[in-house]
Amino acid sequence: MRHRHIFVSALLLLAMYGYLLTHFPTDSFWYDETVSGYLALHTWDTLWKWTTEIDIQPPLYFGSLKLWAKQAGSDEFVLRYYSLLAGFAGLAGMIQLGKRVTGTPTGGWGAALALFASGGFVYATGEARTYALVLTLSIWSLVFMDAALHKTTLGRMLVYGLVTIAAIYAHYTAVFLVAAQGAYVFFRYQTVNRKFLIFLLPGLGYLPWTYIIANKGMPEGLAFEGSVPIDTILKTYWQFYLFGQVVVDDMAAKLGWIIAGLAVLLTLFLFWKKRLPILVLLIGLMPIFLLTLSIRLVEAKLSGRHGWALWIGMALLAGLGVHYWLEKWKNPLVHLVAVGVIVFVYTRWPEALPDIYPSDFNSAFAYIHDNAQPNDFLILRDGSLVTAAEYYRTPLKHVGFPNVVILNVNHNLNFFEAQNLLKEELPPDTENIWIVSWDGEIMDPQELTFGIAEYIGGLPEETIYFGDVYVSRYEYRRDTISMLDHIMDLQDVLQIGSDGPSLLGVEVYYKETSPNCPVIFHAWWWRGSTDYPNARISYRLLGPEDAILAQYDFELSGQLYPQKKWLPFMPTLGRADLRIPGGVDQVTAAIVVYDLNNEQPPQSAKLEKIPVTPGTSSYCDYVVLLPE
C-alpha cells in the first residue's frame, strides 16, 4: 500500500510539473523581476547593500538565486526556473502536510491539487521573485513543526528551526505564519510548555535581521499616504490567490465570489462535522489578519503576493473536503479524475486574462542596443529602471529622472534637479537622447522628462511601445544650461487672483502639421502665496470663428501634481498633447484658465496659428507623445 501511495504521489507531481513547464512564461521580465536579475549579476556587496540599506528585504532568495545563476546562467528562463523548482518542492511538501492534517494520502493529494489550481501559485512558479521559495519553505516548516510536536527531539527541533529561519529570511511575511504556528501550539496545549521550545531557534535566528531593521529603518516612500479600505485588501489577496497578476474582468470577479462562497460553506460544514482542525483556520486567516493590520496601521503597501499563507490554508481546506468526500462516497479513482478535470479547467482560466504589467523590457533595450549611436545618451524615467537597464546590458551611459534606485512616492522630480542631472551627466558630444519610461508618472508627475527632452530636441524622432514600456528618441540640438532664462523670458500670460499661481508662459511644439499630428503644449507655472485647487487649464485647438476642434482640460500641472505639491521659486510644468483635426486649413493653439466653482473669472490667450498640411503623415500615425 505504501509503495502505491508513493507511486500515485510521484505520478501526480510529475503531471503537475509537466503542466507548469509547458505553461512556463517565455516573455520578458517585468520590473520587479529585473531587480532579481540585477542582483544575480552584481557583486555580493551590491546584494548586501540593496537588502540592508536600499530596500530592506531578507537576502536569502537573492543570495540563493545568485548562487543558482553562477552555475546555471542568468537568462530569464533560468532565473524563473529556480522558482519553478521551488514551487515543485512546495507541491511535494503539500502532499505531506495534507496527509498529516487529514490523516490520509488522498487528503494530501487533494491539498496539492488545490494549491496547484491556484492562479497565484502558478504565477509565482513562473516569476523570478521570492514568493515560490517562501511558500515552499513555509509549507515544509509546517510539516516539520507537526513532526516536532508529535515527537519533540533535538533533531526535529533543529530541522524545524532551520527551515523556519530560511522561510523568514526568504520574505518577512513568513513571520506572520510563524505567529499562526505559535497560536496553534497554544490552542493545542492550552498552556505555554516545553513544546514552545521549538520556536527558540527561529526566534534567535531572526534577531540579527531585527537588529538591521531597527538600525536602518524601513525605506521611505514605498507606499502612498492614506488608508487602504479593508475590502480592497481582502479582495486583492483573494483575487491574486485565484488568478495571479492579471486584470480581473467582471466574469472572473463573479467566479471569485462563487469560489469564496463555496469555501465558506465548506468551512462551516467541516466545522459542524467537527472535521476542521484549528491549524487550518489559523494558517488561512491569521496571517491575512496581521497583514491587514500592518497595512492599516503601519504602511499602506498592498501586494496580492503577500497573502501566500492563504494559499496554504485553502489547499488544506480543499484537502479536508476531498478526504471527507471520498470517505463518504467510494470509488476514489472516479472522484480524483473529476477533481483533476475541475483543476484543469480552473487553471486554464487565468490564461485568458491579460497581465497587469505586459512589460517587454527585453525588446525595449534590444531595440535601443540595435539602433542607438555610440554617443547617444539614455534617460531612465525613473531611476529605479537602472535594474532593467543593467540586467539587459544597455550600452549607453544613463541617468535616472530622478536618479534614485528604488521607488519613493514622496520624491517628485523638480526642474532644478533634472537640469542639474543633465549638467553633470550629459556629454556635450551627445547625438541623441533616448528615454525609457515605465510607471514614470509616480516620481515624474509633471512629465518633466519629456518636457525637457522636447526643449532640447523638439518632438521625438521615433517612439514605440513595448508592452507598457515606452521608448522615445530625441535629437540633441541644444543644452539646458539657459533653459531657466528661456522660461523666465517667456511672456507672462496671466495670474490667478492677486496672490495665486502665475503662468510664466506657454510654448507650442509640433513637427508636422497634417491631420492627426500632435501639438504639444508646455505651460510653465510659478507658485503663488495662495493655492487655488479648483483652478483648471483648458488646452485647445480652435478653428474658424474660434470653434473648438480639440480640447483637453486638467489641473494646472496635471492630476498627479496638484498645487499643494508645487515648490516655491521653482518652474512647474503643465504638459498636454492635442491632435490636429482634419477638414480645416488652419488651427489656432489657445488656452483658457478657469475656476470650477466660478470663483475667479476665466482668462484666455491665443498662442499660435498653425497651418494644416493636407494629406497624411506616417510620422504622426506612429508617434505617441503621452504614455497611456
- Rounded Cα distance between 135 and 144, Å, is 14
pLDDT-based confidence at residue 486 (cuts at 50, 70, 90): confident
| pLDDT of 413 above 90 | yes
The pTM score is 0.91
Instruction: Tell me, yes or no, whether 33 lies in a domain.
Output: yes
**pLDDT the model gives residue 354:** 81
* Lowest model confidence (mean pLDDT) among 379-388, 418-427, 489-498, 583-592: 489-498
What value does the mean pLDDT take over residues 186-196?
75
C-beta separation of 41 from 391 below 8 A? yes
C-beta separation of 608 from 580 below 8 A? no
> 137 and 196: one domain?
yes
Which are the contacts of 389, defined by CB distance < 8 A and separation ≥ 6? 365, 378, 380, 398, 436
> 555 and 419: one domain?
no
**pLDDT the model gives residue 214:** 78
> 156 and 299: one domain?
yes
> 382 and 304: one domain?
no
What CATH number has the domain bearing residue 524?
Answer: 2.60.40.1930
Distance in Å from the first CA to the final CA of the chain: 60
- Residue ending a domain, among 291, 323, 352, is 352
**pLDDT the model gives residue 623:** 62
| pLDDT of 622 above 90 | no
> 525 and 449: one domain?
no
Instruction: Tell me, yes or no, whether 380 lies in a domain.
Output: yes
Phi first, then psi: give them for residue 280, nearest 5 degrees.
Answer: -65, -45
- Residue ending a domain, among 427, 442, 475, is 475
Q: How are beta strands 502-509 and 494-495 bridged, if at all? A: antiparallel
> 420: domain range?
361-475
**pLDDT the model gives residue 340:** 64
> 463 and 497: one domain?
no
Beta bridge partners of 550: 541
DSSP single-letter state for residue 583: S
508-542 pLDDT, tens per residue?
999 999 999 999 999 999 999 999 999 999 999 99
240-280 pLDDT, tens per residue?
999 999 888 888 888 889 888 989 998 999 989 888 899 99
Residue 190, Ramachandran bin (φ over 0: left; ψ between -120 and 50: alpha; else beta)? left
CA distances (Å), origin 260, targets 153, 253, 325 = 40, 10, 19
* Lowest model confidence (mean pLDDT) among 12-26, 324-338, 346-360: 324-338
CA distances (Å), origin 352, targets 70, 241, 249, 252, 364 = 35, 16, 10, 10, 25
Q: What percent of the chain has pLDDT over 90?
A: 68
| pLDDT of 337 above 70 | no
What value does the mean pLDDT take over residues 396-409?
93
Instruction: Tell me, yes or no, whether 271 lies in a domain.
Output: yes
| pLDDT of 626 above 70 | no
The helix/strand/coil state of 117 is helix
Burial (CB count within 10 angstroms: exposed 0-12, middle 13-18, buried 19+), residue 345? exposed
- Rounded Cα distance between 466 and 361, Å, is 7
The total of structural domains in the chain comes to 3
- Residue ending a domain, among 301, 328, 352, is 352
> 332 and 371: one domain?
no
What's the longest Cα–Cα distance across the chain?
Answer: 91
What value does the mean pLDDT take over residues 284-298?
91
pLDDT-based confidence at residue 370 (cuts at 50, 70, 90): very high
**pLDDT the model gives residue 628:** 44
Burial (CB count within 10 angstroms: exposed 0-12, middle 13-18, buried 19+), residue 125? buried
pLDDT-based confidence at residue 205 (cuts at 50, 70, 90): confident
The alpha carbon of 157 is separated from its chain's Cα centroid by a whole number of angstroms, namely 37
C-beta separation of 209 from 169 below 8 A? yes
What value does the mean pLDDT take over residues 425-454?
95
- Rounded Cα distance between 568 and 453, Å, is 23
What value does the mean pLDDT take over residues 592-598?
93
Instruction: Tell me, yes or no, whether 251 lies in a domain.
Output: yes
> 587 and 464: one domain?
no
pLDDT-based confidence at residue 442 (cuts at 50, 70, 90): very high
Q: What percent of the chain has pLDDT over 70?
A: 93
**pLDDT the model gives residue 400:** 96
Instruction: Tell me, yes or no, whether 447 lies in a domain.
Output: yes
- Rounded Cα distance between 91 and 97, Å, is 10
> 322 and 365: one domain?
no
Instruction: Tell me, yes or no, whether 481 lies in a domain.
Output: no
> 366 and 345: one domain?
no
> 300 and 167: one domain?
yes
Per-residue burial over 202-241, b if 16 or more Cβ lie within 10 Å, else e, is bbebbeebeebeeeeeeeeebbeeeebeeeebbbbbbbbb
* Lowest model confidence (mean pLDDT) among 199-203, 289-293, 335-339, 499-503: 335-339
> 148 and 291: one domain?
yes
288, 290, 296, 302: CA torsion to nearest 10: -50
Instruction: Tell me, yes or no, whether 482 lies in a domain.
Output: no
Instruction: Tell me, yes or no, whether 262 lies in a domain.
Output: yes
Which are the contacts of 502, defined by CB distance < 8 A and separation ≥ 6? 492, 494, 495, 496, 525, 526, 528
**pLDDT the model gives residue 627:** 46
What value does the mean pLDDT take over residues 558-572?
93
- Rounded Cα distance between 64 and 169, Å, is 11
